[in-house]
Amino acid sequence: MTRALYPGTFDPVTLGHLDLIERALRVFDSLVVAVSENPSKRPLFSHVERLALLREVTRDLPNLEVVGFSGLLVNLIRDQQADLLIKGLRAVSDFEYELQMALTNRKLDPRVETAFLMPSEKYTYLSSTIVKEVSSLGGDVSPLVPAVVERALREKFSKHD
């Protein structure tokens, strides 16, 4: 049984994230999606909200668990008894950063391996940052995120008006 771990901020979860989750589930026996409480980022959605949204949009997927975490990723991998990390690569610009992270994780724990997956071509441009910007300006994000996330974004930005 191969258990993979897909970490991220997921602020908010997009159809690109879901595409990667579904791809990983086709390759690995089980998947842990880990929502980071990264103190260096200022997320739009709270950690609890991001966990709830991810759990909602993945509730029908088999062999998947959504967990929250803070701290070092190598500790989470060990705690979750995961065999490897999954990271998404949309463009060459993602690769440089993710390669540095993969090598750092391996330096911290030589057992940590990272597998890079590419999303469907239709999601290579998509990021949570773009989704938040479009939504904040009143744009239609329905082709970019699950319906529950679209509603949450509308609600979040209607409070800022």
Is 8:35 a contact under the CB 8 Å cutoff?
Answer: yes
User: Annotated catalytic residue: which of 26, 40, 41, 93?
Assistant: 41
Q: Is 106 annotated in the active site?
A: no
Q: Is 47 annotated in the active site?
A: no
User: Annotated catalytic residue: which of 3, 23, 55, 90?
Assistant: 90
The helix/strand/coil state of 5 is strand
Write the DSSP symbol of residue 145.
Answer: S
Q: Is 128 annotated in the active site?
A: yes
**Cα distance between residue 121 and residue 123, in whole Å:** 5
Q: Is 107 annotated in the active site?
A: no
Is 73:84 a contact under the CB 8 Å cutoff?
Answer: no
Query: Which residues lie below 8 Å from residue 26, measured CB to CB, with a gap of 6+?
Result: none
User: Annotated catalytic residue: which of 30, 36, 50, 128?
Assistant: 128
- Alpha-carbon distance values, 141 to 136, 145, 159 (Å): 10, 6, 18
Which amino acid, 118? M
- Catalytic site positions: 17, 41, 90, 128
